[in-house]
Structure 1
């Protein structure tokens, strides 16, 4: 095999492998990591976890934690004809939390304001 042909084959194989590397790097994207439900808005991914009367929202950007210092938010919970709002405040590196609960099937509307960014809004259904 000539060197030029060999280089072409190697370059083609490398080019075909690049999308696989990116797919593997984002394998967890869209997947719940903490037992909650996932919602997305722009570059941000939110995992909403309701446990023991507390709502925790984990914030990430393509798997990387997003700092929530100075952030604020609100989770509106729609279950049948009932609506409740949970105020969310920073609760650690990449988390917001507040007091509240939701049931399976409830519609969740999340509004988050990260410092220096546009307000984000995401929707999902509780499982």
Structure 2
């Protein structure tokens, strides 16, 4: 009887530790420590990761690309055929709404008039074919955090 209780408590403790590590691993702060495949900023959006890539050198508002890559939590590409969405960009005192359309196997793209300001905020809302809409908030021009290996030793973290 005592062994059974110990085993149950051990299993429960392990589950709690795993759940806590998983929650930490998917925080914005953690994602900012990870190198992204396309040089953008990555955020969770439901069961997906969205990676936002914007122009980083546009001093004045002009037509610039907005690209969103979609993967699962293991960074496996999710097809975007039949998907659509918008990126709402707040940069300085300007606001732009960019229509996003499929542009390759796991990406959506649009063109919008924006400047690359340090305070830029972007809200991406996507609907993949047959799925509910998902949304993520980005601060693509904010300084990124230190690499995970230097912070907590989880640079080899896998989902």
Match of residue 112 from structure 1 = 126
Q: How does 1:1-127 map to 2 (within 5 A)?
A: 30=31, 31=34, 32-51=36-55, 53-62=64-73, 63-100=75-112, 101-103=114-116, 104-127=118-141
TM-score by length of 1: 0.72
Deviation for aligned residue 1:36: 1.0
Contact 2:40 2:52 in 1 (8 A): yes
Deviation for aligned residue 1:81: 2.6
Match of residue 11 from structure 1 = none
Q: Which has the larger radius of gyration?
A: 1
Whole-angstrom distance in 2 between the partners of 1:33 and 1:93: 14
Whole-angstrom distance in 2 between the partners of 1:94 and 1:54: 16
Whole-angstrom distance in 2 between the partners of 1:50 and 1:81: 18
Aligned residues: 105
For the aligned residues, what is the CA RMSD? Answer: 2.5
Contact 2:90 2:122 in 1 (8 A): yes
Contact 1:50 1:102 in 2 (8 A): no
Deviation for aligned residue 1:126: 1.6
Residue ranges of structure 2 left out of the alignment (5+ in a row): 1-13, 59-63, 142-159
Contact 1:71 1:113 in 2 (8 A): yes
Deviation for aligned residue 1:43: 1.0
Query: Once structures 1 and 2 are overlaid, which stretch shifts more, 64-73 or 102-111?
Result: 102-111
TM-score by length of 2: 0.58
Deviation for aligned residue 1:72: 0.1
Match of residue 12 from structure 1 = none
Deviation for aligned residue 1:37: 1.1
